[in-house]
Amino acid sequence: MNVTQRVPWLSIIIAGMAAFIVSFIGSFLVVSVYAISLGMEARGAPDPAKINAFASNVIPFLSPVLLSLLVVVGAYRVVRRARSPQLWQGVLVGVVAILPSLIFIGTPDPVEVGGLLLGPAAGLLGAYLALRKARVSLRNANG
């Protein structure tokens, strides 16, 4: 019997872009909360130099970690819902999630390269977890 395998391209793109957007907003919120706390502490306008120093020290590490966590969730959902789930579908979610980051990065330094590699690795992990859960569920259903 010939079964055609449909790749859930729309789900992959939506999950990857959603992971990027939510991680971008999350990073922005972290810097905003820091700026607000500085303003409250100073009882006036916060020091822009402190905000820039915080953003340049924290965001390069926070953004990839947050993006990776969201890619794991997105890849897990895509692979669990796919008719023919594959590990590479999760990796594609990670690749789609990091593509917009390339716009903001000029020449990447080693930290940024590591952050870019986390996306596809997180997608692979999410896909693996989804396939493992599917196998366990299938094994339990068969007795």
Residue spans per domain, the chain:
9-142
More confident residue, 62 or 137: 62
Q: How confident is the model at residue 129 (pLDDT cuts 50, 70, 90)?
A: very high
Q: How confident is the model at residue 10 (pLDDT cuts 50, 70, 90)?
A: very high
Q: What is the pLDDT of residue 143?
A: 59
1-12 exposure pattern, b = at least 16 Cβ within 10 A, e = fewer: eeeeeeebeebb
Secondary structure tally for the chain: helices H, strands E? 4, 0
Q: What is the pLDDT of residue 1?
A: 37
**Does the pLDDT at position 26 exceed 50?**
yes
Residue 60 has phi, psi (to 5 degrees) of -60, -25
- Please write the tens of the pLDDT for every residue from 77-127: 999 998 888 999 999 999 999 999 888 787 888 878 888 899 999 999 999
Residue pair 96/62 in contact (Cβ under 8 Å)? The answer is no
Q: How confident is the model at residue 2 (pLDDT cuts 50, 70, 90)?
A: very low
Q: Maximum Cα–Cα distance for the chain, whole Å? A: 72
**Does the pLDDT at position 139 exceed 80?**
no
What average pLDDT does the chain have? 88
Distance, CA of 143 to chain centre: 36
Instruction: Calculate the alpha carbon distances from 60 to 15, 53, 64, 80 in Å.
Output: 22, 12, 7, 31
DSSP 53: H
**Does the pLDDT at position 5 exceed 60?**
yes
The Cα 52–Cα 104 span in angstroms is: 17
